[in-house]
Every structure is written in structure tokens, then in C-alpha cells.
Structure 1
């Protein structure tokens, strides 16, 4: 039997777990979780996203994102209308406090991302990113 630690899936999971651990630690100092931070990042780039859009963009279920959004709203970091004129989606937006928290946390997260980037030789980065995309596509449904 093959050594599982030499398989691509194992190595990807190991890297993902290391990234998640580093992000958890860094974001704890900003009183945020990784899903909360990811949600704030997406809302900064695309204000008005729905719960479903945010769930897809942060790789969590809609139910989990609903919990994340309620927590961010309770902390005054986002706003969502109580009702909407268009369907059931309640578009979310950052508050000033949310933008300030995001800005502080972003520096810590980007420093982690920079460490990841520097771990791959500059001459191989574009190919490595393309390889990761192909791997994701190879196992994605439909």
C-alpha cells in the first residue's frame, strides 16, 4: 500500500490545515473567525451579496453562513435589511466598524499569504497556481 503522506490529497489537506491554523491564531487577535473574515473580505469587494452568495464564496453551508451573518450583525460589523423587495435574499453590507475591523485583520492574513507565496519559488508560482486550479477542477462536481 502506498504511503498516504505521499499522496496529493494528503499534502493538500496538510497545507490547508496549516493555513487554517495560522489564520485562526492571527484572527483571534481581531476577534474574528476565518469564515467571518472571509465574509467581510467578500462584502468589501462586493457589497450587497446574499447569504447564498457569501456561503459559496467562503466554502461554508448556507446555514453556517446565516450564523456567521447573525454574529457579524450583532457585533455591528455588517448591516442587513429586515425585509427586501426582491425575493428572500437579504443583501449584506459592511458598516464602518466592519471595515475598520477588516482593515486591521487583513494585514495579519496577508502576511500569512505572503509567507505561503514566498515558500514557492517565483519562477514556479504561476504554474503552481494553475496546477492547483486543475486539481480543484478535476474533483469538482459537474
Structure 2
């Protein structure tokens, strides 16, 4: 497949696969999976979110998100609290230990990101980020931070 025949979607998927694999490998040092890191990030941004809502926002299956959340609750990184009006829903909140782990994980993610993008100039990196951000904002805006 040459540069002209690869679709943008295919290239984005390939990039996503490689980045996901690299992130999984590096996050293992913190005893985190990529799904757990994603859960921590979204719950830190949206305290009280349900596991199902976190799964929808991130494009992770409900089963994968449930397993990630269960592991984080067992480790004391997250806690479940009753929903104020719906008895069937549990709200997720990050603990102080979870917040500390999230900060450490963000440093790992930054290192992986910096290494992967080192082939691009700073201007190219900013352009790639801007274009990907616009595409995600168009296709899955809930995946982005609420304040963005």
C-alpha cells in the first residue's frame, strides 16, 4: 500500500493501534491498563459519571469499562456512590490515590506521545493535534474534556 492509496481512516486506525500498544506497555509499570487509564481520566474530569456513561464517551465496551472500573475500585483508586435520584445507577468518584496515579500516568502518556511525534516538527505536531481534535470533536465530542 503506498501513501496515496491508504485512506486517512486506515492511517488513523494504524496510528491508534500502535499508540495503544505502546501506551499499554508503558502503563504496565503503574499496574494500569489503557482502559483503566481512560476510566481514571474521564472520571477525574466528570465526577459522578456512571460506568456506562464513561464507556459511551470513550468508545470502550461496557464490559471492558466495567472490568477496568472494578479493578480500580478494588485498588482504592475509585469509589462507587449511590446516584442521588436513581437507585439503579452508581456514580464513580476518583480517590486521592486515584488522582495521584492519574498524574503519574499522564507523565507516562506524555513521554509516549512525545516519542511518537518526535518525527514531526513542532508546527507539524500542532497541526496534527488540531486536525485530530476537530475530527474527534465532530465524530465523538463526548470523548473530549468538558472544558475544551
Is the TM value for this pair above 0.5? yes
Q: Does the Cα contact within 8 Å between 2:23 and 2:112 map onto a contact in 1?
A: yes
Q: How large is the RMSD of aligned CA atoms in angstroms?
A: 2.5
Counterpart secondary structure, 1:36? helix
Look up the match of 1:46. Answer: 46
* Distance 1:90-1:109 versus aligned 2 partners, 3 A rule: same
Query: How many angstroms apart in 1 are the aligned matches of 2:100 and 2:83?
Result: 27
Following superposition of structure 1 onto structure 2, how do residues 108-119 of structure 1 map, counting pairs within 5 Å?
A: 108-119=108-119
Following superposition of structure 1 onto structure 2, how do residues 1-142 of structure 1 map, counting pairs within 5 Å?
A: 3=1, 6-7=5-6, 8-81=8-81, 83-87=82-86, 88-132=88-132, 140=139
Query: How many angstroms apart in 2 are the aligned matches of 1:10 and 1:45?
Result: 30
* Distance 1:41-1:134 versus aligned 2 partners, 3 A rule: closer
Taking structure 1 as the reference length, the TM-score comes to 0.79
User: Structure 2 unaligned runs (5+)?
Assistant: 141-148
Larger Rg: 1
Tell me how many residue pairs correspond in the alignment: 137
Which aligned runs of 4 or more in structure 1 are off by greater than 4 angstroms?
Answer: 133-138
Query: How many angstroms apart in 1 are the aligned matches of 2:136 and 2:95?
Result: 34
Query: How many angstroms apart in 2 are the aligned matches of 1:95 and 1:134?
Result: 32
Q: CA deviation at 1:104?
A: 1.8
Q: CA deviation at 1:96?
A: 1.7
Q: CA deviation at 1:41?
A: 1.2
Query: How many angstroms apart in 2 are the aligned matches of 1:106 and 1:128?
Result: 20
Counterpart secondary structure, 2:91? coil
